[in-house]
Amino acid sequence: MKILISDSLSSRGVDVLQQAGFTADVKTKLSKEQLLDTIKDYDAIIVRSGTKVTADVIEAGTRLKIIGRAGTGLDNVDRDVATRRGIVVMNTPGGNTITTAEHTIAMIVAMSRKIPQATVSTKAGSWEKGKFMGTELYNKTLGLVGLGQIGTYVTKLAQGLAMHVIGHDPYLAPERARDLGIEAVELEELFRRADFISVHTPLTPETRSLINAHAIGKMKDGVMIVNCARGGIVNERDVYEALKSNKVAAAAFDVFEKEPVQSDHPLLALDNFICTPHIGASTEEAQENVAVAIAEQFVDYFKKGVARGAVNVPSVPPEILPHIQPYLGLASRMGFFQAQLIDGGIEEVTVEYRGEVAQLSLAPVTVAVLKGLLSSILEDVVNAVNAPVLAKKRGIEVKEIKGSDAGDYTSLIRLHVKAGKQTHQLAGTLYHKKDPRIVESNAYAVEVIPEGHMLLVHNVDRPGVIGTVGRILGEHDINIARMQCSRAQKGSEALLIIGLDGPPPVSVMDTIKRERDILSVRHVDLSRVS
């Protein structure tokens, strides 16, 4: 594997990649044109905040399998395009939690005590004690917008300063907020009550310009605002106006909408505004942590198939993978098998989990079913990343059902696929918890090893049919690897499944179809299932 590192990365991360046998090339400060020309030769890319992995970069990266961000934010990566292309996007959300939280608190302290302004004044030869009257943090209310890993660590630090913390996060359970000692409130109440406000959310369409003139109008006079998260969450023009009018007493930014920030940016001219050049995660410890973390995640993915830190594919913890891996293989083969038996566009897929398998984390298994189904009918590359996106794009409704009763089996996966005017059913299980078997095809109980090439012959249940099919195959020098027959009831219809050493010629299938009592003949090819 060839990995491009396009932003500065700790040498320890590079060492991890090289020790795993990968080629890791560090090429920083590439121009857009250079990146477009270079990316085509690499299987993966590691970035920080400098490189913009835009749609055209992703399209140029014809070999790309992973885009990794050594850090938290991914607003410099076009995740939608990467997902459609089947490229895993991963980050290291925990690697810079402590350092970013510490920087937030440092900004709050520096802002409230006017430390940067006092430093400049003193170094200029002045001694203006009266000019730099500060504000205590003791017993003040800190409002946190977003209570992920960084927000919760900021909470601990702020509580150590005897601040009262209120927070808004629609995804945080109330009991978790109570455990953290945070008073959970609605956003408008947070704006109204907080003395200090700090944002800790990703930049999304919902959070862009979250703090704007309208929101500032609801805040206390003299509120102080911090943004060490993502540029654009706080509307810079609106904060500028509020700082000039002293509605906002002070603001401290580590991030800007456009970086690097231009020297003529209006905020930079204000005495009550302090800033840093996006260094919230810039400590030696944090940079080493995220470098090693992203490198180890790459090794896990390429060597073990474990997508830790992935944001666009269900992740399976390493300790769970040995239990779920055999089901992933079974599910993929079931999807591939079923897709070759249906006519018409797929409208609905229902995956039914019964028995012990129902206790597992099943999102990756359902994705494996979709991967198998779509791989058989689409020319596009289909994998665990883009299978759900492709299914949604084609209007396929996907459902999961869980239950404890697996009948005669310890675990059973039953797949219902609605296509055209029919619903097709397939069931599979694992023998000895590792060997995949198809045990049901529509109304027929079977025991099929899902591999290689198979003929599925649907016929009238009469004597001589098996002999006739065997004779035709023999006359054309086609060897039978395995065979079984199943019927719904005596004298009705039957299903003959024949494993072959290779693909049957179309002419042979046509010959079988013309025989009396043959209702249909299908070739199922599982030789390409990964």
Show which residues are catalytic.
Answer: 230, 259, 278
Backbone angles phi, psi at 442, to 5 degrees: 55, -120
* Residue 177 contacts residue 165 (beta carbons within 8 Å): no
Q: Among positive and negative, which fits the CA dihedral 326, 327, 328, 332?
A: positive
Strand partners, 77: 53
Instruction: Give the single-character DSSP code of 77.
Output: B
Longest dimension (CA), the chain: 109
Structure tokens at 39: 């990316």
Strand partners, 401: 352
Look at residues 317, 344, 345, 316 and name the one whose alpha carbon lies nearest to residue 331. Answer: 316
DSSP letters spanning 396-436: -EEEEEEES--TTSSEEEEEEEEETTEEEEEEEEEETTTEE
Q: How many helices (H) and strands (E) does the chain have?
A: 17, 22
* Residue 75 contacts residue 222 (beta carbons within 8 Å): no
CA dist., res. 443 & res. 461, Å (int): 14
* Residue 147 contacts residue 155 (beta carbons within 8 Å): yes
SS3 content of the chain, % helix, strand, coil (to 5): 35, 25, 40
Beta-carbon contacts of 185 under 8 Å, excluding residues fewer than 6 positions away, are: 143, 166, 167, 168, 193
Look at residues 312, 255, 271, 277 and name the one whose alpha carbon lies nearest to residue 66. Answer: 312
Strand partners, 525: 453
* Residue 486 contacts residue 465 (beta carbons within 8 Å): no
CA dist., res. 161 & res. 490, Å (int): 81
CA dist., res. 415 & res. 353, Å (int): 9
* Residue 197 contacts residue 219 (beta carbons within 8 Å): yes
* Residue 358 contacts residue 334 (beta carbons within 8 Å): no
Amino acid, res. 64: L
Place of tokens 């969450």: 233
